[in-house]
Amino acid sequence: MVSLAGKVALVTGAGRGIGREEALLLGRLGASIVVNDLGGSGEGAGADARPAQLVTEEIIRGGGAAVANHDSVADPAASDAMVAQAIEAFGGIDIVVNNAGVLRDRMIFNLTPEDIDIVLKVHVGGAFNTIRAASRWWRKLAKDGREVTGRVINTSSVSGLFGNIGQTNYGAAKAAVAAITQIAAMELGRYGVTVNAICPTARTRLTTIGPVGGSDGDGRAWDPLAPTNVAPLVAFLASDEASEISGQVFGVFGGQISLFEPWHASAEIRSSTGPFEVCDIAARWRELFPGGASSFAAPEMARVRDDVAAALASAATATS
Ligand SMILES: NC(=O)c1ccc[n+]([C@@H]2O[C@H](COP(=O)([O-])OP(=O)(O)OC[C@H]3O[C@@H](n4cnc5c(N)ncnc54)[C@H](O)[C@@H]3O)[C@@H](O)[C@H]2O)c1
């Protein structure tokens, strides 16, 4: 049985959707939780203290320990304060789950500067801010000779890895989150910290996947798109059992966990006489595309959609 007893976790955006389920599961496994949520709309407008408060109360009702935080992860000082709140309330911080997110989906020609700015500030800024704050604490502990089992679990997206029309701002932010994951893992490993990321797929207010799946009540044995399906991977990555895993990006939905490979060179041409001349490239570029060239299209995204459709169909037939 995996236990998080004695651990302290900050879960951002934990008032709703995927983050809520992550906070509840980490709490059930024994971690003390700082439940952060700004409580605004899906596009990032406004604020509301209730979502974080309700999840905090639910954890406490279940016998766990939790405190609410209502600030924005886009604010570096507020993120420092979230980590300070964990240390003050529970004596330290062991786990950071960067989950808070907003969407401003538009075709690139329709994006306002604010649509770009808020998405980058929440997803990329948010990950930078909390990791920076927590890693200072972990680095100090390590330098004082204390044992550190720091865990960061970021939330990326297949949109950032494979591309999705209407999401240049969001995809760029989520690709950056994957890069932060890989590089922070390299930087923090020596201090006893692992950094990984998930790319979840779940039915929340941010997704337009429904109502194909309906909800638990529509005759399925189980719901492949329930946000509860995502939390066990996050809890595992937060645990001592996952100490060997760092710098990795996982896909997760339903009953499926995938390991995504990072960018790699799939073909190469080399000049034997020094730098390429333009005319040499013009003569040889087809060697880079043995299967024929086309503009970038993401077959992986189609595969993700096929997987989701297949999981929904199989969960439906399981009950019929
Ligand atoms: N649902 C999916 O299929 C899916 C797919 C890929 C990635 N994601 C990512 O998963 C994460 C959770 O999304 P969700 O689908 O559960 O959406 P959600 O809207 O249900 O939850 C996001 C939460 O983040 C909070 N939040 C937003 N901005 C914040 C800020 N600045 N500071 C603190 N809290 C803030 C919101 O109030 C909300 O409660 C996001 O990062 C999202 O991009 C979701």
For ligand 1, mutation pick of 18, 35, 174, 205 (most atoms within 8 Å of CB): 18
Of 122, 95, 126, 102, the residue nearest 23 (C-alpha): 95
Catalytic residue among 32, 72, 135, 157: 157
User: Which 3 state secondary structure label does DSSP give 227?
Assistant: helix
Over the stretch 93-147, which tens digit does the pLDDT of each residue have? 999 999 999 999 999 999 999 999 999 999 999 999 999 999 999 999 999 999 9
Question: 20: Cβ below 6 Å to ligand 1?
Answer: no
By alpha-carbon position, which residue is closest to atom 31 of ligand 1?
Answer: 72
For ligand 1, mutation pick of 71, 206, 223 (most atoms within 8 Å of CB): 206
| E-state strands within 83-192 | 95-98, 150-155
Over the stretch 185-198, which tens digit does the pLDDT of each residue have? 999 999 999 999 99
Residue type for position 228: T
Sign of the dihedral defined by the CA atoms of residues 283, 285, 290, 292, in that order: negative
Q: Which residue has the higher pLDDT, 216 or 251?
A: 251
Q: Give this prediction's pTM.
A: 0.95
